[in-house]
Structure 1
Amino acid sequence: MSHPWMPASPCGNGCLTPGAPTVGAARRALRFTAAAAVVLLAFAALPALFVPRLREPLARRVFRGVLRAFGVRLVVRGEPLDGGGRGALVVNNHISWLDIVAVNAVRPMRALAKKEIAGWPVLGTLVARGGSIFLDRERLSTLPGTIDGLAAALRGGSLVNVTPEGTTWCGLASGRFRPATFQAAIDAGVPVRPLALRYRMADGRETTQPAFIGPESLIDSLKRVAALRGLVLEVTVCGEIAPGRAADRRELAGLAEASVQAALGNVVQRRVVVARRYARI
């Protein structure tokens, strides 16, 4: 059963920005066909993932291929995302299932993912094969063990991606970075690398259409993304937060959230506006 601390977002279908350009039915079908072909090739190449020198370039090609198949243009800004041979906790704002694809298209890495993702068609298998650590959000008693496992992975030199908001938001609104997973970075003595994600249309307008929010299924979200014309996914790699810079996990979470907000611009003001809007409903 769920608990009172389960992450929740007020975002729903009413948050979706209207007027996004779309492609025709034939192009949508072609995109799904292309995505399926990329995934089939990925499964065929799974044995190569056990070869260290092939693992990262192959995984990057697969995830970039998924983005291209859905007509998504990836734009990366900021510093290189490289652990330099040591582990790092990589955190980002969470909007869509595309976030997972984008982060791994920039730099393939392990992830802390909710256990439900393991059951998703195709994407779940790829995430699991990538060495993900799965979190049971409905059982708080499992959290300390999960944090210990996350710290061990970081200590071992892995980059591990975490979405500390705990759930998806529409992108124009965002959630607080919850501090629990930041304890793993403190325990492991590794830096935190914040990423800021934003979705735009080709004309530069910010869009919430790719958001995976409300009661919709993954299939419904996939269909909406496949219909979009000119979707651009921007990933800004923010500066490293060095070990020891924060006194505790709450301060570390606040520093990471502030870094992402600064990269996105005016996020705090947007969150307040949206929260007030929902308070009147």
Structure 2
Amino acid sequence: MSAWLPVAPCTPRACARHEGARRAPLPALALLLAGCALTLLGVLSVPAVLLLAPARRDRLIRRWARAVVRAFGVRLRVTGEPVDPARPRTGELVVADHVSWLDIPLVAAVLPARMVAKSEIRRWPLLGPFAALGGTLFIDRDRLRALPAAVRSLAAALESGSRVAVFPQGSTWCGRGAGGRFRPAAFQAAVDAGAAVRPVRISYRTAGTGTAGAVAFVGDDPLAASLWRVVTAAGLVAEVRILPPVPAGPGSGRRALARAAQSAVAHDSANLPAASVHH
């Protein structure tokens, strides 16, 4: 791994833990099986879904992603600025903080987009080929020299009118404190394409607590352990807060744009009206 890559100080032992009530093992196992089954069904359906018209495909993706989140025992709450989930007329870069693997279906449930993922995922059995088929943009994080090509690919997707989602912190963080800074590379693509940047804040809580450490997927945490923590966390709520877009263009600097988006995600008002709550 390159030394320039961001590394979070969060560790499974220090950060990934239950806070609040726990679900009994048998109901938790039922949720785990249901969530995994729905995820696999979605993966296997990718070739057929790609044959649908874009608007119908996006509606189906939103419904599937919400069903996956709910199947794992998580309620979705969407707050902030109302936004049309349909594809934008011009490209839009969705940027969000990164806490868990749950962040990916949560973004898809609200704003379906082409995801940006590390190149290693392309080589994963089953999931890798289907991720590529679904339009995922892969970047080689270990090779700094590959970064300009990755930015060009991202800019081309935005110029074509795609909505693209990226987690610019470059690593998962536990959700406590400010987290990592937003790296500017993806924002350069938005500048080059003249696309707007849509900040999104993702946070988790359980009944009676302000945070939900059970969802943190950090460091060398095994995926199986993370899945089990999620399904055994009773009353888990994920909030996706949609913030006003940050315009980008030739006069924008990528670093200033990254700072503006990070500031919006970190300091947005707690009094924004709720757009919807999904039980």
Asked if these proteins are the same fold (TM beyond 0.5), I'd say yes
Query: Who is 2:273 aligned against?
Result: none
Query: Who is 2:155 aligned against?
Result: 151
Residue 73 of structure 1 aligns to which amino acid in structure 2? R
Query: Who is 2:20 aligned against?
Result: 20
Q: Structure 1, unaligned stretches of length 5 or more?
A: 266-281
SS in 2 for 1:160: strand
Residues 1:164 and 2:168 aligned together:
yes
Range moving further from structure 2, 181-190 or 240-249: 240-249
Report the Cα distance in structure 2 between the residues aligned to 1:224 and 1:264, rounded to whole angstroms: 29
Residues 1:95 and 2:99 aligned together:
yes
Let me know the Cα RMSD of the aligned residues: 2.1
Deviation, structure 1 residue 119? 4.9
Matched-pair contact (CA < 8 Å) for 2:97–2:200: yes
Report the Cα distance in structure 2 between the residues aligned to 1:219 and 1:118, rounded to whole angstroms: 20
Residue 92 of structure 2 aligns to which amino acid in structure 1? A
Aligned length: 264
SS in 2 for 1:181: helix
Query: Who is 1:268 aligned against?
Result: none
Q: 1:164 to 1:43 in 2, by over 3 A?
A: closer
1:241-260 Cα offsets, whole Å, 9 max, x none, are 11249631000000000110
Matched-pair contact (CA < 8 Å) for 2:173–2:218: yes
Report the Cα distance in structure 2 between the residues aligned to 1:221 and 1:147, rounded to whole angstroms: 31
SS in 2 for 1:209: helix
Deviation, structure 1 residue 40? 4.2
Residue 155 of structure 1 aligns to which amino acid in structure 2? E
Sequence identity of aligned pairs in percent?
44
1:86-139 Cα offsets, whole Å, 9 max, x none, are 111100011000000100011211011112334557765664343110111111
Matched-pair contact (CA < 8 Å) for 1:49–1:58: no
Matched-pair contact (CA < 8 Å) for 2:20–2:209: no
Query: Who is 2:10 aligned against?
Result: 11
Range moving further from structure 2, 190-199 or 56-65: 56-65
Report 1 or 2 for greater relative contact order, CA contacts < 8 Å, sequence distance ≥ 6: 2
SS in 2 for 1:232: strand
Q: 1:162 to 1:44 in 2, by over 3 A?
A: closer
Range moving further from structure 2, 153-162 or 10-19: 10-19
Report the Cα distance in structure 2 between the residues aligned to 1:28 and 1:123, rounded to whole angstroms: 24
Counterparts of residues 40-79 of structure 1 (less than 5 Å): 40-43=40-43, 45-46=45-46, 47-52=48-53, 53-79=55-81
Q: 1:165 to 1:65 in 2, by over 3 A?
A: same
Residue 3 of structure 1 aligns to which amino acid in structure 2? S
Scaled by the length of structure 1, what TM-score is found? Answer: 0.87
Q: Structure 2, unaligned stretches of length 5 or more?
A: 271-279
1:32-89 Cα offsets, whole Å, 9 max, x none, are 2212332343245331332114311111121111101111000001123445321111
SS in 2 for 1:183: helix
Residues 1:128 and 2:132 aligned together:
yes
Query: Who is 2:205 aligned against?
Result: 200
Q: 1:8 to 1:69 in 2, by over 3 A?
A: same
Matched-pair contact (CA < 8 Å) for 1:182–1:249: yes
Instruction: Give the alignment partner of residue 226 of structure 2, picking from 191, 213, 221.
Output: 221
1:165-217 Cα offsets, whole Å, 9 max, x none, are 00000000300111111100000011100001110112352122201112112
Q: 1:139 to 1:93 in 2, by over 3 A?
A: same
